[in-house]
Every structure is written in C-alpha cells, then in structure tokens.
Structure 1
Amino acid sequence: MSDTRFSKPLIIMLIGSAFILALSLGVRHGFGLYLVPMSTEFGWSHQVFSLAIALQNLLWGAVQPFTGALADKYGSKKVVAVGGALYAIGLLLMSFSSTGVMVNLSLGLIIGLALSATSFSVLLSAVGRAAHPSRRSMAMGIASAAGSFGQFIMLPTTLLLLKEFGWSSALLITAILIALIVPLSLLLKAPMYVAPNNTQSALHPNQPALSFKEILVIAKNHKPFIWLGLGFLVCGFQVVFIGIHLPGYLTDHGFSTTSGTIFLALVGLFNIVGTYTAGWLGDKYSKPKLLMGLYGLRGVAIIAFLALPLSHWTIYGFAVIMGLLWLSTVPLTNGTVANMFGVKYLTMLSGIVFFVHQIGSFFGGWLGGLNHDLTGNYDIIWAISIALSVFGVVVHFFVNEEPVVHD
C-alpha cells in the first residue's frame, strides 16, 4: 500500500500556495472597498467601477485556459512569478487612475491577466498534481482556505489603509505587498505524484501523450464536464455580486462602510472552515452531490437574508453562512475535474471550467452596478441569484466524476 501522507515538498508547496493565494485573493476581495471613494472623487456612476471589475473577471477567465496550458508546459513557478509582477504593476497604475479608461486598463485588464496566473486554477492544480489521489481534495481545500484567510486579514487592513492614507496611497502600499508573490513562487516545486504499478486512469500522466487539441476534443464531448462548468457559472455570479455590491447595498440601507467590511471579513474567516471542510468531505463523498447541497443552501441563505429585517445580527449571520459556502465549491469542482481527466492537463481543464465561472462573475459584477444605476436598488439581481441557486442544484444532478475512458 502506498504512503498517502503529505510529502515534505508538498508541504512546502502548500505553504507557498497558501501565502500566494492569501495575498492574491485577499487583495482582490478588497477591491469593492474602493468603489465608493474613487467614484465619489471622480464623479463616476457605480457602473464605471463595476464595469472595470466585470472586465477583470471576464479577462481573468478568458485567458485562464491559456495560462493553465503554459503552467502545464513550463511549470507553475514561472507563471506565478510573472503574474505577481503584473499584479503589482496593475495596482501601481490603478493608484494613478482618474478616468474610466485608466481604471479599466489597470483594475480590469492588467490585474485580470495577473489573477489568471496567481489564483486557484494554477495553484490548486499544482497542489493537486503533487498530492496522493486519496488526499487531493483535502490538499486543495487547505490551499483554498488560505485564500480565505487572506480575505479575512486584508479586508480590515485595506479599510485601515483607506482611512489613514486615502485610496491612492493604499493601492501603492498594497502593490508592495503583492510583489512578495514573485519570491514566494520559488516554493512551488513539488514533483507530480505518479501512482505505482501503472494504475493511473486513462488520461493520467503515464498514458501515451495527448496533444492539447486532443484533450480539448475529449473534454468538449464529455457532457458531465460541460454541466460542471455551467454549475460553476452560478458560483461566479453570486460571489462577485455579493463581494462587490453588498457593502453598497448596506450603505443604501443606512449602514456604515465598516459594516460592509466586517461582513466581507467574516465571509473570509468562515470560508477557511468551509473550504477545508469541503475538501475533507470531497475525499469521502460524491463531490457533485456535495455541490448540489452547497448551491441549494446558498439559495436558502439569500432568501432568508432578504426576508428577515435588516440588522447587524442578520448581516453578520448571513456573512457566517455565506462564508461557509463561499469558495467551498472550488476544491470540489477542481477535484471533480481531476477525477474525470487525471492531473496531467488539470490546470488547463480547470481553467476552462473557471472561464465559465468568470462569465458569471462578469455579469454578477456589471449587472449589479447597472441595476443599481437604473433602479436605485439590487432587487432584480437578488432574484437572479436565487434562481441561479436552483439552476446550480439541477445541473449537478447530471455531473459524475468517473474517469473519462480514452480509446
């Protein structure tokens, strides 16, 4: 029987991935706090900043399969280092942005490209390749939880920087922190796990080499893979809408900016528990069925939040529940892809699924701002979020994680 414990190189990679995701996603989750001060200073409508966020998410997803292919071919370490440098440049340019064009270039284009190289698809795939199959979901859950810890730490830090130094200086300081991703990328060097006795499934690394075109054709014709991607669209729409617009929603109802910041920080804190637990459960139970439960619970939580009288108790209670469900979908979705296709092409295939996620993110971010500008509220987007939860439950009924057999 093979040893399923985490190897020392994998532990080092987990530490490196944890810090990188904490920085990358922690900073990214704080972008919603810049909406009000930047919009107020330059007289922008909410749609200007929301469009930049939507563009960021769309580009992030669109280039993710290509970034994943580069990571599969040349290694995650190089791709993450380049992404970290781009991220810092984007933040520097954002700190000098005074027009919609500039904020779309910096926050939208450059940071969108950077996130494709410094977030889940690249880092979780690297971890997944190095982990024993029976511990893969847990390893991904540990790395995912780190991104949530970054959100918990960086949101109050961002709010403090905004209050003490203003939005421009806060971005300059954040750029320095993000630059640490470049040296941290050197820790991403654990070797790929190879099962003994040639027991890999049909598309695992010791099978005859397939080209990217061949693997894409196989994935395109595999219906459970398509349904999985459509389910991930729901996740993208909901988390970006809530992450970007919930602080504004609370402000509209008379609550302070601090309330929105505490909400997002609590989401990050409890998502540490949620992602780790999801990874642990994913090694024991059906990942598609777990995903059905997660999306169903999100819908119930949103309905309860809107139905109950708005207070600090309901706001923070909603934060705790959503935190447990926030990114728990990530290790389960990526783990399902790994079970379907093996790990050799995991970064690219996870990137394709993530692109669909980011289409949802684009509409969640942009339509939230557009709806607010046109109506002064978010009612339509809340209704869409609830309907999408139902859709998320239904589509995962058609997903299975059985290995794809290649002739």
Structure 2
Amino acid sequence: MIQNSSAPPRRGRRVHPAWWVAAVAFVALLAAAGFRAAPGALMVPLHEDFGWSTSVMSLAVSVNLLLYGLTAPFAAALMDRFGIRQVVATALLLVALGAGGSVLMTAAWQLLLFWGILIGLGTGSMALVFAATIANRWFVRRNGLVMGVLTAGSATGQLIFLPPVAALAEAGGWRPASLVIAAAAVVAVPIVWLVVRDYPEDRGVLPYGADPATHIPAARATGGAARRAVDGLIFAARHRSFWALAAAFAICGATTNGLIGIHFIPSAHDHGMATTTAAGLLAVVGVFDIVGTVASGWLTDKFDPRKLLVAYYVFRGVGLLLLPLLLSDTVHPSMVLFIVVYGLDWVATVPPTAKLCREIFGDRGTIVFGWVFASHQIGAALAALAAGVIRDGFGTYTYAWWGGAALCVVAAVLSLAVRRRLSGPAPLERAEPEAVPQRDGGAPPTM
C-alpha cells in the first residue's frame, strides 16, 4: 500500500522518507565536494614541494573540472539504469582513491592521474545531476527548495573544507590534508547505501507532496545508459534554449569553480594575504552560499527563473569587476562585502537552470541538465587554465577577473533568450510504469 504523502500530518507521524534521502544526499555531496576545492589550498604547498608551475597544476585541475562535467550526463543515465546507490557509492570510492593515492605522487603526470582523472570521474558521477535526480524523483512539492539545499551541499563542501585543508597543509604538509578528504568520502559510503533508494515506490510511499489521485509512478529506464545520454543530447541540441542555457551555465562555471574556486587563494597570496586567511574567506563564501542557494530554490518555486538568472549574473559581474581593487594583504570591510555577495550568488543559478531544463525537456530534463552541467565544467576548466596562463604571462590575475566580469554580461543576455516551452519535437514518451509492490499490513515502513 502506498503511503498518502499529501494528506494532513497526524500527531506522531514520522518524517516522510523523502527528507531522509535528501539529507543523506546532502552529506554525500558535501563529502565528494571536499577535494574539488582542495587544489586551491594545495597549489602553493605543491609548488614549494615539487617546483611545479601554476600552469602545470592548473592543467590538472582543468582535467578534473572537464571530466567532472562530461561524466555528469552519463552518470544521470547510469543512475536511471542501475540505481542511485550503486553509482554514488562507486563515485565516493573513486574520490577516496584519488585523494588518498595522491600522497604517493612524485611526478607531474601523477597529478593528472589522481587529481585530474580519478577525482574528476568520481565527483562527476555525482555532481548536480545527483541532486536533480533526488529532487525530481522524491519531491513534487518543495522541488525547487530541495534542489537549492542539495546544490548548497555540493558547493559548500568545496569551501568549508578549505580552512582545515589549508591549516593541515601549512602545519603538516599537503599529504595529511589529502588523507582527511579521502576519509570523508569513505565514511559517506555506508550511509548512502543504508538510506538512499532509487524511487519513493521502493519505500512504499508516494513522492513528497504527490496527489494520490493523479500521481503516475516514474518510468523505469530501459536500454543502455550511454545511448540514453547521447540521445538526450541529440534531442536537446535541436533547440535554441538548450544552447542558451548551456552557454550561460558555462560562464557560471568559469566565474565560480574556474576562477574564484581555484585562483582566489593564489591571487590573494600574490597580494600578501596568508593562505589560511584566504581559505577562511572562501569558507565564508560557503556559509553564505547555503543561504543564497536555498533562497534561490524558494524563489525559483515562485518567480520566472529566467529573470532570476539575469539578476544573479549581473551581481556576479559587478563583483568580479571590483575584485582587483579589493585584494590586499589584510581583510577589510569592502572585501567582506564582496565575499558575502559572491557567496549568496555562488551557485544560486542552479535551481532556476534545473527548473528550466525540467519545464522545457520534460522526462529528459535530468539528462539534459547533465549536459548543461557539462558545459558548466567545460567553462570552469577553460577558465582555470586560462587564469593560470594569464598569471604566469602577466604576473597578475587582474585581466582574468575583468574577463570574467565581461562574460557575466553575456550570460545575463543569454538567460533572457531562453524559451520556457518547446516549439519542436514532443518530449520523451513515458515508458509503462512498473507495478508497485503492495506491502503486507497496509502502512509501509518509514525512517
């Protein structure tokens, strides 16, 4: 018997399982995100230890970001085909292997293997398509809010790890810092395995907020995961809105993960600021990112997501334009203001972008969002490499920050060009839903 998730709550009723699944997804995203920001804190110690240039280390980070993005749509299809638990547990183990194995590095090509390939594949197999899959399958009501919370977990994990990673790297070297991140990923594996399920029906309940009179169980995927991912791209590529979303989201990635996430600490170090202080500032970005992204999810449920995107990109562009004037050897009020505003705006773009993918592309929306997210990471990878080259060539990051500001204007214009409905081929046809097994004793178990 399926639990009615839309009925008024009764005294003593337990929390809907969807919220437990969302909570564990938040923890898993937090753990996997740890090493995505660690390079920013470890680049200076690695340079001092091995003498590797900023360009060489930026190349490894670019490979990581690129694989992180390109893996996402295939991971979405794999989750549809083989299950969320299997994919996420494997991804966390890859992150642990890459972070833990990096302590054995002795040559630059090994940096590409551990930082670039293993961690890129592991984090990409979760990424924000994991958040979108949980939000879309388990929630009818509060979908945008849940997407915002899970996005905050993914982004904030990058930043809250920075102070302890930077402190460990400064006190005991970069190797203990890498091992701490590996341990965090390993600890998350059994939690995911015990709590997360693929569909609400697997718990004998409806999605949170679903109307039992009209709800149709989600279609179960059939066919090869790679083929479904490629078919989703081919379908989306025929529509201008996909290219507008992808290009704008590439700029989002360039101006967050690619520029600030990787190069803010080295840039602040160039101005005489201590590495631990700069890492602490990025951690504050992470705190305000939680507020901004959850608020963005709430706003996305109420307002036109395109207008929200325009506002977010404009604010971000102004921040990047002013950043070269704000950097110094100490923390002052104007820098704190920049950190707060940039934190609120860090990944506030994700809930409205995910909602537009769902509105425009229907049942293909999660896989299409995976491809849009791939463009996010392509932009991040290009920006991470370009900023390193600019720093080595000009001796300053100033032109990288100004270039990011100009790109934000382009992203705002592209967001206005998105259409919220398709004018071409019909959305993906739904497969016949599998029968949901009835449970003896009526009420299903809840957590």
| Fold in common (TM above 0.5) | yes
TM-score normalised per structure 1: 0.91
Counterpart CA distance in 2 for 1:254 and 1:355 is: 35
Matched, 1:178 2:153: no
Instruction: Indicate the residue corresponding to 1:293 in structure 2.
Output: 311
Give the alignment partner of residue 104 of structure 1, picking from 89, 100, 112. 112
Alignment of 1:87-126 (within 5 A): 87-126=95-134
Structure in which a larger fraction of residues adopt helix: 1
1:62 is matched with: 70
TM-score in terms of structure 2 length: 0.83
Number of the residue aligned with 1:234:
251
1:207 to partner: Cα distance: 11
Q: Does 1:130 align with 2:142?
A: no
- Counterpart of 2:340 (choices 320, 325, 343) is 320
Q: 1:29 to 1:208 in 2, by over 3 A?
A: closer
Once residues 7 and 418 of structure 2 are traced to their aligned partners in structure 1, the CA distance between those partners, rounded to angstroms, is 27
State whether structure 2 residue 389 is matched by structure 1 residue 381.
Answer: no
**Aligned partner letter, 2:73:** P
Contact 2:29 2:150 in 1 (8 A): yes
1:189 and 2:197 are equivalent in the alignment: yes
For residue 249 of structure 2, what is the amino acid of its counterpart?
Answer: F
Higher Rg of the two aligned structures:
2
Mark the CA change 1:5 to 1:42 in structure 2 (over 3 Å): closer, same or farther.
farther
Contact 1:13–1:189 (Cα < 8 Å) also in 2 = yes
Shift of the 97–214 alpha-carbon distance from structure 1 to 2, 3 Å rule, reads: closer
Write out per-residue CA displacement over residues 185-240 of structure 1, whole angstroms, 9 at most, x where no aligned residue. Answer: 2222162547656588xxx9569999836544431212112211111001111112
Give the unaligned 5+ runs of structure 1.
none
Provide the secondary structure at the position in 1 that maps to 2:142. helix
> Is the 2:145–2:297 Cα contact (8 Å) retained in structure 1?
yes
| Deviation, structure 1 residue 403 | 6.2
1:198-217 correspondence to structure 2 within 5 Å: 205=218, 212=228, 215-217=232-234
Q: What is the deviation of 1:306?
A: 3.0
Deviation at 1:402, TM superposition (A): 3.1
Read off the aligned partner of 2:60 and give its amino acid letter.
Answer: A
Match of 2:146 among 114, 139, 148: 139
> Residue 365 of structure 1: which of 357, 377, 384 is its match?
384
Aligned to 2:30: 22
* Alignment match of 1:47 (pick from 55, 60, 66): 55
Report the counterpart of residue 82 of structure 2 in structure 1.
74
Cα distance in 2 for residues equivalent to 1:223 and 1:3? 37
Deviation readout 1:238-274 (Å, 9 max, x if unpaired): 1121111111111111111122112211110100001
Checking the alignment, whether the CA contact within 8 Å between 2:99 and 2:115 is kept in structure 1 is: yes
Secondary structure of the structure 2 residue equivalent to 1:57:
helix
Higher mean displacement: 327-336 or 281-290 = 327-336
Compare 114-123 and 37-46 and name the one that shifted more. Answer: 114-123
Instruction: State the alpha-carbon separation in 2 of the partners of residues 149 and 244 from structure 1.
Output: 14
Q: For residue 445 of structure 2, what is the aligned residue in structure 1?
A: none
Q: CA deviation at 1:149?
A: 4.2
Residues 1:14 and 1:321: Cα distance change in structure 2 (over 3 Å): same
| Pair 146,397 (structure 1): closer, same or farther in 2 beyond 3 Å | same
Query: How well do the aligned residues superpose, as a CA RMSD in angstroms?
Result: 2.6
Structure 1 counterpart of 2:261, from 219, 231, 243: 243
- Count the aligned residue pairs: 402
- The answer to whether the 8 Å contact 2:152/2:293 transfers is yes
Structure 2 residue 351 is matched with structure 1 residue 339:
no
The residue that corresponds to 2:301 in the other structure is 283
Q: 1:125·1:346 contact (CA, 8 Å) conserved in 2?
A: no
Please give the alpha-carbon distance, in whole angstroms, between the structure 1 residues aligned to 2:231 and 2:394. Answer: 48
Aligned-residue identity in percent: 31
Deviations 1:59-115 (A, max 9, x none): 111222111111121121111000011111101221111211000000001100001
Describe the SS at the equivalent of 2:125: helix
Classify 1:367/1:359 alpha carbon distance in 2 versus 1 (closer, same or farther; 3 Å). Answer: same
The 3 A distance-change label for structure 1 pair 198 and 403 is farther
| Gap change, CA 1:304 and 1:13, over 3 Å in 2 | same
Deviation digits for residues 268-323 of structure 1, max 9, x if unmatched?
01000010000000000011110111001101122233345745123222111110
Whether 1:354 and 2:357 are equivalent positions in the alignment is no
Question: How far 1:30 sits from its partner (Å)?
Answer: 2.5
Aligned residue type for 1:351? G
Structure-2 separation of matches of 1:222 and 1:338: 14
Measure how far apart 1:24 and its partner are.
Answer: 1.4
Answer whether contact 2:358 2:366 (CA < 8 A) is retained.
no
For structure 1, which segment, 282-291 or 248-257, has the greater mean C-alpha deviation from structure 2 after superposition? 248-257
